[in-house]
Amino acid sequence: MVGAAHAAGLPVAAHAGHILTADEAVRIGVDALEHVRIGPELLSEEKLQALKALRTRDYDWLFDFRAWRFAASAGVRVVAGTDTPNPFVLPGQSMHDELELLVGSGLTPMQAIVAGTSRAAELAGLADRIGAVKPGYCADLLVVRGDPVSSITATRSVALVIKSGRIVFAENPTLPPAGL
């Protein structure tokens, strides 16, 4: 199936529930892995202790989010996603949670932002038109109060949302956000 998809020019994503199935998926040529659970059985005692010291994801007992620190440091291209329309995930809100969890797992705020923008666009095959602020790209922007590169929680202070060049949300619709 992977060969046929690639022959047709299509990427292949696998829903891999465990690092061992993820390993097999990589061996057969899958392009993206989703929901990979990295288990402590594959970590040295030193890394296991470091893993235990990191922030946990309280509401998702199936997934040890803290292990992404090790994945990212090993060169894994981490992409942020929301899993919408999962009934336990709130659209919009869940991306803020995801970015904060990535930072809590050891990524920098900028690495988390890239994971949710340009890297996500690359994975979706849309990097030629979304995921960056460039001439000719869709004008999709989130303007926040504060500096998310200093503190990723600033993404929660939404001042303005522009989708395809149109304002779809403004904190104060009569005034432009400060600095614009």
Give the 3-state secondary structure of 61-113. Answer: CCCCHHHHHHHHHCCCCCCCCCCCCCCCCCCCHHHHHHHHHHHHCCCCHHHHH
Mean pLDDT for the chain? 78
Residues 116 and 154 in one domain: no
C-alpha to C-alpha distance for 114 and 124, rounded to whole angstroms: 14
Q: Which of 2-11, 33-42, 44-53, 137-146 has the lowest mean pLDDT?
A: 33-42
Residues 88 and 166 in one domain: no
Using a pLDDT cut of 90, give the percent of the chain over it. Answer: 31
Give the residue numbers spanning the domain of 148.
139-180
The per-residue pLDDT for 37 is 56
Task: Please say whether the beta carbons of 59 and 52 come within 8 A.
Answer: no
H or E stretch including 167?
Answer: strand 166-170
The per-residue pLDDT for 176 is 58
Residues 167 and 146 in one domain: yes
Confidence of residue 60 (pLDDT cuts 50, 70, 90): very low
Question: What's the average model confidence in pLDDT over 82-105?
Answer: 80
Q: Which of 21, 108, 35, 87 is nearest to 65 (CA)?
A: 35
Residues 170 and 105 in one domain: no
- Kindly state the tokens that stand for 47: 């890394």
Question: What's the average model confidence in pLDDT over 92-110?
Answer: 86
Question: What's the average model confidence in pLDDT over 72-97?
Answer: 76
Side by side, which strands form the sheet with 158-163? 141-144, 158-163, 166-170
CA 104 to chain centroid: 13
Over 70: is that where the pLDDT of 51 sits?
no
The per-residue pLDDT for 62 is 39
Residues 126 and 144 in one domain: no
Residues 102 and 62 in one domain: yes
Task: Determine the 3-state secondary structure of 158 from DSSP.
Answer: strand
Residues 52 and 6 in one domain: yes
Residue with tokens 């970590």: 43
Single-letter amino acid, residue 128: D
C-alpha to C-alpha distance for 45 and 169, rounded to whole angstroms: 48
CATH number where 19 lies: 3.20.20.140
Residues 23 and 93 in one domain: yes
Question: What's the average model confidence in pLDDT over 122-135?
Answer: 91
CA 176 to chain centroid: 29
The per-residue pLDDT for 63 is 47
The per-residue pLDDT for 110 is 96
Number of domains in the chain: 2
Q: Which of 18-32, 35-49, 139-153, 163-177 has the lowest mean pLDDT?
A: 35-49
CA 168 to chain centroid: 23
- The pTM (predicted TM-score) of the whole model is 0.71
Confidence of residue 59 (pLDDT cuts 50, 70, 90): very low
